[in-house]
């Protein structure tokens, strides 16, 4: 079964950055507890512009994790599947 990935982009105003970092930590903890991998990147030139990646071993696992996630992605059904490039 191919690995699955979702991507979420957000831009947060500077005064809300501390709260956003707290939300991101809570999301990280949730996804880890659901056997998913979670990464957050911040754009170098735009402080407060974040990209979040959530990866799981299957689409089913990923969708299940999103359903119970704090601050679930806007489009949790947009799941990317890993391609085997043999």
**pLDDT recorded at residue 77:** 74
CATH of region 4-81, choose from 2.60.40.10, 3.30.70.270, 3.40.190.10, 3.30.70.100: 3.30.70.100
pLDDT of residue 70: 84
Classify residue 54 as exposed, middle or buried by CB count within 10 Å of its CB (0-12, 13-18, 19+). Answer: buried
Cα separation of the two ends of the chain? 15
Q: Residue 13: CB partners within 8 Å, gap ≥ 6? A: 48
pLDDT confidence tier of residue 13, bands split at 50, 70 and 90: very high
pLDDT tens-digit map of 25-76: 999 999 999 999 999 999 999 989 999 999 999 999 999 999 999 887 777 7
How would you class 56 by CB atoms within 10 Å of its CB: exposed for 0-12, middle for 13-18, buried for 19 or more?
buried
Domain ranges of the chain: 4-81
Which pLDDT score is estimated for 38? 97
pLDDT value, residue 48? 93
């Amino acid at each position: 079964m191919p690995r699955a990935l979702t991507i979420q982009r957000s831009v947060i105003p500077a005064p809300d950055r501390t709260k956003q970092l707290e939300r991101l930590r809570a999301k990280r903890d949730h996804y880890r507890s659901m056997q998913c991998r979670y990464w957050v990147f911040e754009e170098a030139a735009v402080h407060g512009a974040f990209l979040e990646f959530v990866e799981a071993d299957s689409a089913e696992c990923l969708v299940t994790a999103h359903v119970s996630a704090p601050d679930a992605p806007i489009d949790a059904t947009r799941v990317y599947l890993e391609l085997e490039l043999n």
